[in-house]
Amino acid sequence: MIFYFSGTGNSLWAAEKISIAQGQKLFSIADEIKKNNFEYTLDDSELVGFVFPIYAWNAPKMVVDFINKLKLKNYKANYTFAISTCEANVGYTMRNLKDTLNSKGLELDSGFSIAMPSNYIILTHVKSKTSIEAILDTAEERIEEINTSIDKRENKFEITLGHFPYIKSKLINPLFMKYGIKPKKFFASNSCISCGLCEKVCPTNNIKVDGKPKWGTNCTQCLACINRCPKKAIEYGKSTRDKGRYYNPRCKK
Ligand SMILES: Cc1cc2nc3c(=O)[nH]c(=O)nc-3n(C[C@H](O)[C@H](O)[C@H](O)COP(=O)(O)O)c2cc1C
């Protein structure tokens, strides 16, 4: 079974490819949390996989919270892997994830990172279509390599750490979690047609569309709302003004 979290399709695209190649069931972490479902029964040969984006050099809080509540019945050291999609590097994400899993009596046998286009339009600009397609071509090859490693049940960690992983994952990440997520900064411009898509795609049920969308405080900053609005009507303060929006063009969901 493969558990995934994705705001803008990169991780979902990778998770779907791996789940098809490996013949594994796919579960959306956001949907499972909404259903309050944390218990799963494993077959002896079943894999356990986690696929998610990197947020400030760590796994999203939702993913960590989900794993902390996870109960895997019939777990017999089933081969377990994690894949993080990122723009550039992941710091000590896999080390932290391994600690979280170990504290629950679960192992992490392998970990991989895949470079994908950035969806963090608060700080970056969306790349050109040509660059996005080139990055996704390389990512597709990488997904195939990862599939081969999983086929062989390899025990390896192939990740782009980046410079100063300790500082990024252990010091900057907690600061980002405390001060970097400001849902009050989201607003909808007059282009908003009240279609309700932002409410539907929000993984934390943090948006209510009553006329215009309103944001609560439970934001994980996946940026699904802002990137997926069909009218580009959602902004985050002044940071996203006149910038493009990103959703993985190869992800069909
Ligand atoms: C809040 C936030 C923080 C991010 N932090 C990082 C980071 O630390 N390192 C990195 O390489 N990419 C970072 N990114 C980029 C995403 O990890 C990357 O685009 C990912 O593939 C998005 O996956 P998704 O489409 O499945 O949501 C960040 C994105 C967001 C929204």
pLDDT digits (tens, 9 = 90+) for 124-154: 999 999 999 999 999 999 999 999 999 999 9
DSSP the chain: -EEE--SSSHHHHHHHHHHHHHT--EEEHHHHHHTT--EEE--TT--EEEEEE-SSSS--HHHHHHHHH-EEET-SS--EEEEEEESS--TTHHHHHHHHHHHTT----EEEEEE-----TTTSPPPPHHHHHHHHHHHHHHHHHHHHHHHTT---EE----S-HHIIIIIIHHHIIIII--GGGEEE-TT-----HHHHH-TTS-EEEESEEEE-S------HHHHH-TT--EEETTTTTT------TT---
CA of 214 to the centre of ligand 1 (A): 24
Question: Could you identify the residue written with the tokens 């959703």?
Answer: 247
Band of residue 105 on the pLDDT scale cut at 50, 70, 90 = very high
Mean pLDDT of all residues in 179-192: 94
Per cent of the chain over pLDDT 90 is 98
Q: From ligand 1's centre to the CA of 211, what distance in Å?
A: 30
Kind of pairing between the strands at 80-86 and 48-53: parallel
Read off the pLDDT of residues 186-205 as tens digits, 9 standing for 90 and up: 999 999 999 999 999 999 99
CA 60–ligand 1 middle distance (angstroms): 9
User: Which pLDDT score, from 0 to 100, does residue 253 have?
Assistant: 74
Across all residues in the chain, what is the average pLDDT? 97
Alpha carbons 51 and 31: distance in angstroms, whole number: 14
Distance CA 213, CA 201 (A): 12
> How many degrees, rounded to 5, is the angle at CA 82 between CA 79 and CA 88?
155
Q: Among the atoms of ligand 1, which is closest to the Cα of residue 247?
A: 25
Of 169, 180, 171, 168, nearest in space to 219 by CA: 180
Judged against a pLDDT cut of 90, whether residue 175 lies above it is answered with: yes
Residue to mutate, 28, 55, 62, 172, ligand 1, most ligand atoms under 8 Å from C-beta: 55
Ligand 1 pocket member 11 (CB < 6 A) = yes
Q: What is the arithmetic mean of pLDDT over 95-107?
A: 97
Give pLDDT tens digits for 33-69: 999 999 999 999 899 999 999 999 999 999 999 999 9
- Tell me the best of 28, 120, 181 to mutate to test the pocket of ligand 1, counting ligand atoms within 8 Å of each CB and taking the most: 120
Q: Is 247 exposed, middle or buried (0-12, 13-18, 19+ CB in 10 A)?
A: middle
86 lines ligand 1 (CB under 6 A): yes
The pLDDT assigned to 19 comes to 98
> What distance in angstroms lies between residue 74's CA and the mean position of ligand 1's atoms?
33
Centre of ligand 1 from the C-alpha of residue 213, in Å: 24
pLDDT band at 5 (very low <50, low <70, confident <90, very high): very high
Q: Residues of 19-30 as b/e, b for ≥16 C-beta within 10 angstroms? A: beeeebebbbbb
Nearby residues of 189 by Cβ (< 8 Å), 6 or more positions away: 233, 234, 235
Atom number in ligand 1 closest to CA 9: 25
**Ligand 1 near 85 CB (within 6 A):** yes
Residue 154 in tokens: 């390899």
Tell me how far apart the alpha carbons of residues 227 and 124 are, in angstroms, rounded to a whole number. 13
CA of 127 to the centre of ligand 1 (A): 14
Whole-number Å distance, alpha carbon 231 to ligand 1 midpoint, is 23
Give me the mean pLDDT over the 225-234 stretch.
98
pLDDT at 252: 85
Assess whether the C-beta atom of 56 lies below 6 angstroms from ligand 1.
yes
From the CA of 54, give the closest atom in ligand 1. Answer: 17
Residue range 2-175 in CATH 1.10.20 = no
Of all protein residues, the one whose alpha carbon is nearest to atom 16 of ligand 1 is 86
107 alpha carbon to ligand 1 midpoint, in Å? 25
Domain ranges of the chain: 2-175, 182-236
CATH topology of domain 182-236: Alpha-Beta Plaits (3.30.70)
Q: Kindly report the number of other CB atoms within 10 A of residue 239's CB atom.
A: 11
